[in-house]
Every structure is written in C-alpha cells, then in structure tokens.
C-alpha cells in the first residue's frame, strides 16, 4: 500500500496472507523496533495506534524485539498504561538539552534520566511481569572486552570490526557478541550470530535499556549489570534494523500459512541490518528471512514535506539551537498524525484492499 504517506512492504508469504485476510492484529505475533535515536519521533503518533490496535485487549502473546530506541518504545508498550508511558517518553526525549558539546558521561546520564521518566514508579516490574507482551531487547559486547569505551585501542577495535563486516556480515561475529535480554518465557531465538541470553528482571531492566542505546564514542559503555562481566554497547551495532535471522519459539504450527507474522514499524523505507552496514547499500536481509515480515514506513514523499525535509537525527543537536530543535521535533510529531490516520485506515480495510509492495532489492 502507498497512500503517498505510508508505505507497506511485505515478504512473499506475508503479502499473500494480507491480501487474503486483511491487515488484522491477530495475524501478528512479533513486533520489531529498530535503532535510530531521534528518528523514532516520526512514529510517535503511530505508536499510539499500535498500542490501541495491537497491544490493548490482546488475548494471545506478542513478542517485542528491539535495539536502542526500539527497545525504549517497546518498554512503553509493555506497561499497564502504555499511552501514558509513550507520552512520558516523548516529552522527556524531546526536552533533553545540553550545554555546549556534552561529554559521553553527560549524554549517558541524560539518557538514564529519560528512561527513569519512561518507566515511572513501577514500570520495570510491569514490563517483566507482562505475560502477553514479552519483551526482548538487544545490547552488544566486544568479544575481546578490555573494559574500554574510548581511546585509540577502542577505536582500533571498532575499525577492525568495520573491516570484517565489509567482507561479510557474518565476520562481525569475530568482534562483537550479541546480548539478548529476554523474559522468563522467551519467544525469540537467533540463528545468525552467537548470542548470550540474560534474564530480564526488574533490577536490571533500566540498565539493560541504557546499554541497548549506548552508542560507541557517543555514550559511555554500561558496566553496571551484575549478570554481565564487561562493557555493553548499543544493540544496533549488530541489529541496527535487524536481518530477521531468528526463530519465533511459540509459533508451533507446522502449517506456515497459519504462523504469525512479524510487524516492523520503521522510520525509513529501507532496511540496513547492522550499524556498520550503513554505507553498504547492497546489504539487505535475505528474501527468505523476511518472507513473514510486514514493514510500514513513511514514504520519501512524506519525509520531504517535514520541517527541514528530513526526519530528526542526532545531528540536530549540533546544527540547531535547543529551542529550534525542540520546536522542529514537535512539528515532526504533529505531522506523524497523518501516518497514524493511515495506519488506522489500514487496520480497518477489508481483505485485499491495501496495495502491498515488495521489499526493495
């Protein structure tokens, strides 16, 4: 479907089911949230629709899998009042400000403050106790972890990882280990990189979220999680937009036509699997990996009409005065209500009504 504002792309099997059954909440058993920092603000209004149509009054479990800002968004969805949590998160995120060029520690402290607002008084407990919204979030750890998060040796490790990734995404495994924080009843199992699974608890949840969004050389690494000996960084290093090489453990049906689908609300109309893949335009998930995936994203035409002709990004902190940035970000959130209206229309459409496009090659 392309309304001019919202693009819907689907893998082969997912497209067939959408055309036959319509865009129904019951079809989806997995929700993906990508890394991207301020880019998420274009989805702010759309997230309220996801809460209403996909999360509230749900009778069957849904797994959420996120890295960085995607894990922050999902932490809102799993609380008892997800609308209030999303609102708290958006307000705290937009209003963050710094004097001059902040240090890595200052950005980490501010991010932790934002997470405190997002979680409120009992958010951590509500998330880990939620049996219907099963929260999974990703962080990364250097395989040869020396406890560094800056300096020349650390930069050389990042450069080596980028070089290996250039040759093959699979070789990134020689530099980084994926850390998966998962619920008591996990629903996700990865098959591409070696993954260390850690139980998500009310005690480690906020630190796990902070680790999931700790961008190397921008924020300090996280060393405060007792279950992990070492330093954790942004989950987007491996899973920036994800390559979808994972199994969904509670999809038990041998009939693939009855398996649940994966919904991926995204802020751009393309998928970049890992952080080091950003300059590698040819690197995309395989057709087999995304056969059950449905991606919804703002169209390029919609983005061109936003303030500045783009979605927000981290460079806005450097290029805009604080008040101008806050004003522009709020304008983007307001514009995103158009995407929310289109998504509601999509859920209300009859089978066969939406125009579904294939993933870009």
Residue ranges covered by each domain of the chain: 6-348
**DSSP code, position 52:** I
Q: Tokens 């693939």 correspond to what residue?
A: 256
What is the value of pTM for the model shown? 0.94
Contact 193, 126 (CB under 8 A): no
Name, in order, each residue with C-beta under 8 angstroms of 118's C-beta and a sequence gap of 6 or more: 72, 75, 76, 85, 88, 89, 92
Query: Helices in 196-252 by DSSP H: which ranges?
Result: 205-212
Q: What's phi and psi for 64, nearest 5 deg?
A: -105, 135
Q: What is the reported pLDDT for 361?
A: 64
Q: What is the reported pLDDT for 224?
A: 84
Which residues share a beta bridge with 112? none
Q: What is the reported pLDDT for 147?
A: 79
Q: What is the reported pLDDT for 1?
A: 47
Q: What is the reported pLDDT for 256?
A: 56
d(CA 353, CA 361): 24
3-state secondary structure of 22: coil
Q: What is the reported pLDDT for 360?
A: 76
Residue ranges in the chain whose pLDDT is less than 50: 1-2, 254
3-state helix, strand, coil in the chain (%, to 5): 45, 15, 40
d(CA 276, CA 54): 32
* Beta-carbon count within 10 A of 314 CB: 13
Q: What is the pLDDT of residues 197-225, one digit of tens each?
A: 999 999 999 999 999 999 999 999 999 89
Q: What is the reported pLDDT for 212?
A: 98
Q: What is the reported pLDDT for 255?
A: 53
Q: What's phi and psi for 289, nearest 5 deg?
A: -65, -30
């Amino acid at each position: 479907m392309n309304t001019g504002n919202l693009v819907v792309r689907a893998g082969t099997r997912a497209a067939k089911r959408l055309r036959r059954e319509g865009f129904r909440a019951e079809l989806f058993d997995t929700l993906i949230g990508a890394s991207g920092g301020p880019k998420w603000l274009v989805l702010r209004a759309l997230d309220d629709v996801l809460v209403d149509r996909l999360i509230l009054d749900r009778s069957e479990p849904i797994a959420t899998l996120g890295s960085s800002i995607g894990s922050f968004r999902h932490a809102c969805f799993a609380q008892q009042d997800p609308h209030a949590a999303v609102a708290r998160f958006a307000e705290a995120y937009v209003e963050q400000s710094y004097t001059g060029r902040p240090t890595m520690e200052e950005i980490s402290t501010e991010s932790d403050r934002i997470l405190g607002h997002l979680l409120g008084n009992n958010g951590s407990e509500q998330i880990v106790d939620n049996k219907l919204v099963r929260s999974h979030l990703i962080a990364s750890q250097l395989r040869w972890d020396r406890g560094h998060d800056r300096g020349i040796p650390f930069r050389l490790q990042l450069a080596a990882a980028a070089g290996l990734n250039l040759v093959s995404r699979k070789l990134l495994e020689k530099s980084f280990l994926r850390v998966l924080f998962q619920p008591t009843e996990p629903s996700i199992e990865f098959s591409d990189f070696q993954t260390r699974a850690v139980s998500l608890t009310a005690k480690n949840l906020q630190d796990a979220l902070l680790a999931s969004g700790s961008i190397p050389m921008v924020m300090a690494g996280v060393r405060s999680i007792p279950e992990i000996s070492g330093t954790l960084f942004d989950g987007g290093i491996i899973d920036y937009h994800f390559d979808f090489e994972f199994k969904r453990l509670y999809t038990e049906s041998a009939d693939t036509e009855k398996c649940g689908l994966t919904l991926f609300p995204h802020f751009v109309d393309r998928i970049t699997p890992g952080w080091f893949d950003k300059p590698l335009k040819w690197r995309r998930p395989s057709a087999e990996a995304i056969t059950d995936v449905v991606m919804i994203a703002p169209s390029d035409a919609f983005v061109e009409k936003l303030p500045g002709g783009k979605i927000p990004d981290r460079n806005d902190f450097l290029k805009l005065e604080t008040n101008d940035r806050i004003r522009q970000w709020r304008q983007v959130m307001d514009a995103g209500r158009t995407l929310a209206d289109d998504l509601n229309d999509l859920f209300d459409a009859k089978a066969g009504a939406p125009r579904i496009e294939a993933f870009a090659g």
